[in-house]
Amino acid sequence: MPRAGGVTSRIGHRDERWRYIGWIALAIAVALYYGRYAKNVINLVVYSIGAECLWNGQPLLECAPEFTYPPALAFAMIPFVPLSPELRLLIWYLISIAATLACVGLSEALVKRLYPAAANESNLIWIRAFTGLLSLKFILSVLTYQSYDTMILCVILFGLWALANRQAMIAGAALAFAAALKATPLIFLPYLLVKRRFVAAATFVVVFAVLCILPDLVSALKGTRSDYFENWISQIVGPAFTPGGNSPRFFWHGWMGQTLDNLSLRGIINRLVREPFLGVDPRTVLIAAYVIVAAAIAVLLLSSPRRDEFIAVDSAILMIGMLALSPISSRYHFIILLLPYAVLVAACVCDRRMRVFGGWMLLASFILATGTSNDVTGQDLAEFSHAHGFLLIGALVLFIPLAAIVWIWQPPLPQAARNRRPAKRNAPRRRAVKIGAASAVQSN
């Protein structure tokens, strides 16, 4: 009769062998995909031109009309300027792949804090498989456009992981770094204040301020212009965040009009509400839509428990809000749905109460966000879905199962937290019993 230790050892070796096979298959897929990745260089060219303009002391929008990003991104891209285009593209590809894998790992780490059963090997396989299926379209979109969104998501997830592990200063610095390079992660600052994470919030403010003015400081030391951040605020942020705002700049006509590429609330309403609707002008309709989404986010966050493991749920809610409330959301921005999908897939796998309801909600989201706009369904349906905001609706649908986690089917407290709570609650009572016993002894 074989010993249990020998059986366990053979199973462990078999699992290790499959793990190596998986990594080898992934490496082959990454190598094969590079040929397609390198065919059209899109966003990387824009980032590189912005960095060159900043390094040469030229105004960004005049030198690089398509560079609407914060000056901190141009500053961060300066190390790529002296590289050849081929080497630049290869390094960017490797960083993108590494960031994608890191995002998956960090999402799983946050999910395991929320649902400890997700650490089980069989559960983790299901979570990875379904999360990958739901997110695959957006991962490929990021790679197709050579976007930096996966890298920003990686920094955000690292900051959230640090916050969940009570590393407040690291968390604040990481979230501030992401906000300085992309702006929309600024939504995490009020969240930190609402959840009374004051050390993280203070660190966020300081690091964000330093990173925003860093390009101006370096340019001033070089003897060139020092108004990059000021111009970005006045020329891009101001008009973009003002309902009904306008700008003569090139980017405005490319993104803020009725283009199918803008999938945010602003882009959808600009396409669908061109004339007054029921006597309400388009600007008021847009403001009402912003208020409704912001109110939904606020209600959910104020209702969620202030527990470290619930940071995954809170962040999933905020990431959906980033897509809706941003003035511009392109298809590759939807990569941030990786965390919401991971949280909800883990809820379905690890919590029987969520399985049926959460599964139907994930299916609805998949149909709206992926099933209506891909190579299989055809170009006509894809254009119709983009024009009518199916991708954003597919993201907003996820508010419903996330609300169910917050209000109805909360994951149970971890065992360590359950062990601590009764001790704190019963401590005054035990003390009173001891005092009463001591008084009785004295009186006798």
Whether the CB-CB separation of 251 and 68 falls below 8 Å is answered with yes
**Which pLDDT score is estimated for 435?**
44
Whether the CB-CB separation of 348 and 213 falls below 8 Å is answered with no
Element (H, E) at 404: helix 399-407
Q: Is the dihedral of CA 239, 240, 245, 251 positive or negative?
A: positive
Helices 311-325 and 338-350: angle between axes, nearest 10 degrees: 140
Which position has the token pair 């890191």?
102
pLDDT-derived band at 322, boundaries 50, 70, 90? very high
Euclidean distance between CA atoms 420 and 272, whole angstroms = 54
- Asked if the model's pLDDT at residue 427 lies above 50, the reply is no
**Which pLDDT score is estimated for 327?**
86
**Which pLDDT score is estimated for 204?**
97
- Neighbouring residues of 380: CB distance < 8 A, sequence distance ≥ 6: none
Percent of the chain with pLDDT over 70: 84
Which position has the token pair 């907003």?
396
Give the single-character DSSP code of 264. Answer: S
| Residues in the chain, total | 444
- Asked if the model's pLDDT at residue 39 lies above 90, the reply is no
What average pLDDT does range 240-262 have in this prediction?
A: 64
- Asked if the model's pLDDT at residue 337 lies above 80, the reply is yes
**Which pLDDT score is estimated for 442?**
40
Whether the CB-CB separation of 362 and 345 falls below 8 Å is answered with yes
Euclidean distance between CA atoms 440 and 443, whole angstroms = 5
The per-residue pLDDT for range 81-94, each reduced to its tens digit, is 999 999 999 999 99
What average pLDDT does range 359-381 have in this prediction?
A: 83
The per-residue pLDDT for range 344-366, each reduced to its tens digit, is 999 999 999 999 999 999 999 99
pLDDT-derived band at 305, boundaries 50, 70, 90? very high
The per-residue pLDDT for range 219-237, each reduced to its tens digit, is 888 878 778 888 888 888 8
Two structure tokens written together for 191: 């969240």
Whether the CB-CB separation of 338 and 323 falls below 8 Å is answered with no
What average pLDDT does range 384-404 have in this prediction?
A: 91
- Asked if the model's pLDDT at residue 398 lies above 90, the reply is yes
What average pLDDT does range 402-421 have in this prediction?
A: 78
With residues binned 3-state (H G I as helix, E B as strand, rest as coil), the percentages for the chain, rounded to 5, are 80, 0, 20
Instruction: For residue 152, give the nearest of 344, 298, 338, 394 by alpha carbon.
Output: 338
Look up residue 138 and give its amino acid. F
**Which pLDDT score is estimated for 103?**
96
Instruction: Give the least confident one: 13-27, 98-112, 164-178, 260-274.
Output: 13-27
The per-residue pLDDT for range 143-198, each reduced to its tens digit, is 999 999 999 999 999 999 999 999 999 999 999 999 999 999 999 999 999 999 99
Which position has the token pair 């462990």?
12
pLDDT-derived band at 315, boundaries 50, 70, 90? very high
Question: How buried is 126 (Cβ within 10 angstroms: 0-12 exposed, 13-18 middle, 19+ buried)?
Answer: middle
| pTM (predicted TM-score) | 0.88
Euclidean distance between CA atoms 31 and 58, whole angstroms = 38
Look up residue 244 and give its amino acid. G
Euclidean distance between CA atoms 118 and 201, whole angstroms = 30
Widest CA span of the chain, in angstroms? 93
What rounded mean pLDDT belongs to the chain? 85
Using DSSP's 3-state secondary structure scheme, residue 42 falls into coil
Question: How buried is 2 (Cβ within 10 angstroms: 0-12 exposed, 13-18 middle, 19+ buried)?
Answer: exposed
Look up residue 293 and give its amino acid. V
